[in-house]
Amino acid sequence: MIDNDKFQTLLQTRRSTRDFLPTEVDEGLLKEILNDGVNAPSWSNTRPYLVAVATGAQRDRISKALIERLRENAEVKGMAANPDFTHEVPYPDGLLQRSQKVGMGIYEILGIDRSDKQARFRFMERNYEFFGAPVALFFFTHKGLDQFGTLDLGLYMQNLMLSATNKGLGTCPQGYLGNYPDIIKAEFDVPEEYALVCGMSLGYPSDHPINSWQAERLNIDELTVGSKD
Ligand SMILES: Cc1cc2nc3c(=O)[nH]c(=O)nc-3n(C[C@H](O)[C@H](O)[C@H](O)COP(=O)(O)O)c2cc1C
């Protein structure tokens, strides 16, 4: 077992990175990180997920196509519709407020006024520029396993993110990157029965202040249901 203090440091150091250096990520190192994810548990060991890796010209092409689509859909509020997976927009009451806190925190540190639609739109575009990261990952799950597939993918992604953190890399899991499956599926051989869920930017964090901003950590007491007894 590794020292508990070191483990705590690893857990607490993992934060979403939203500004990356252009420094390339070594191919072998990237493979190691992706492989570390597979140590996660999985429903009946089915591993009902797939990952696609975009770097270099392919990464740039995808970024361009996503931004073009975002601009075409500029009038759409919130998340665009992914035909394979849907969630409520805006978020359900109670959860909406938590989400707004993150938005406000990010806008504040970036100096974006909430009324400045152009600046907010620019931040959305930054999502599709992978915040400058040289590596973009896209994640798919088998449509036949519903929640279990998504759950397994989440476990895989978390392992991957912790591994990346431990190797000095930053990550940002991004729902935004799941908005336009046709663009991603046109770039990779994804089996028909797999659906795009989300993506992730991966690379070396810059020293931009956005990377030191810390999202609130809820106390577990707020997330524990009371007993009826
Ligand atoms: C499924 C999922 C989707 C997310 N989508 C986005 C996104 O599209 N853009 C973004 O900047 N952050 C995104 N995030 C990052 C969350 O905002 C972040 O994890 C949360 O605010 C907690 O902050 P932390 O990751 O720094 O601990 C996403 C996280 C998850 C797990």
pLDDT, tens only, 171-189: 999 999 999 999 999 999 9
**Which pLDDT belongs to residue 79?**
53
Give 124's strand partners.
none
**Which pLDDT belongs to residue 92?**
87
Q: Cite the beta strand spans of 60-100 per DSSP E.
A: none
Element (DSSP H or E) covering residue 58: helix 56-72
CA distance 130 to 108: 20
Q: What is the pLDDT of residues 118-136, one digit of tens each?
A: 999 999 999 999 999 999 9
16-216 to CATH, choices 3.40.50.1000, 3.10.129.10, 2.40.30.10, 3.40.109.10: 3.40.109.10
Residue 88: CB atoms within 10 A of its CB come to: 11
Please tell me the total number of residues recorded for the chain in this structure: 229
Q: What's the mean pLDDT in 115-119?
A: 91
Task: Taking the CA atoms of 181, 186, 192 and 194 in sequence, report the sign of the dihedral they define.
Answer: negative
**Which pLDDT belongs to residue 172?**
98
| 139: helix, strand or coil | strand
Residues having CB closer than 6 A to ligand 1 are 15-16, 18, 102, 127, 172-176, 198, 215
Q: What mean pLDDT value characterizes the chain?
A: 93
Residue 217 has pLDDT above 60, yes or no: yes
Span between the terminal Cα atoms of the chain, in Å: 38
Distance 102 CA to ligand 1 centre (A): 9
Residue 204 near residue 134 (C-beta atoms within 8 A):
no
Distance 136 CA to ligand 1 centre (A): 15
Question: What predicted TM-score, i.e. pTM, was given to this entire model?
Answer: 0.95
Residue 85 has pLDDT above 90, yes or no: no
Q: What's the mean pLDDT in 7-32?
A: 97
The residue extents of the domains of the chain are 16-216
Residue 70 has pLDDT above 80, yes or no: yes
Distance 171 CA to ligand 1 centre (A): 10
* Nearest ligand 1 atom, CA 213: 26
Residue 155 near residue 55 (C-beta atoms within 8 A):
no
Residue 78 has pLDDT above 60, yes or no: no
The two structure tokens encoding residue 110: 């970036």
